[in-house]
Amino acid sequence: MASKLLLITIFVFDAIAFGLAVAAEQRRSTAIIKKDPEGNYSYCVYDSDISTGYGIGALFLFLTSQVVIMVASQCFCCGKALKPGGSRAWAVILFIICWVFFTIAEICLLAGSVRNAYHTKYRAIFANEEALSCEMLRSGVFAAGAAFVFLNCIVSQLYYVCFSKARESYQFGGEAGNGVGMSTYK
Of the listed ranges 13-27, 34-48, 58-72, 149-163, the least confidently predicted one is 34-48
Task: Report DSSP letters for 26-63, one per residue.
Answer: HT---EEEEE-TTSSEEEEEE---HHHHHHHHHHHHHH
pLDDT of 52: 86
Q: Is the pLDDT of residue 57 over 70?
A: yes
Q: Domain residues of the chain, as ranges?
A: 4-28+49-118+137-162
Q: Is the pLDDT of residue 75 over 60?
A: yes
Total residues found in the chain within this entry = 186
Q: Is the pLDDT of residue 182 over 60?
A: no
DSSP type of residue 75: G
Which helix (H) or strand (E) covers residue 105, if one does? Answer: helix 86-117
Q: Which residue has the higher pLDDT, 184 or 117?
A: 117
- CB 44 within 8 Å of CB 134: yes
In which order are the strands placed within the sheet that holds 123-125? 31-35, 41-46, 123-125
DSSP type of residue 138: P
Mean pLDDT of 122-128: 55
pLDDT of 44: 76
Q: Is the pLDDT of residue 140 over 60?
A: yes
Q: Is the pLDDT of residue 98 over 80?
A: yes
Q: Is the pLDDT of residue 183 over 70?
A: no
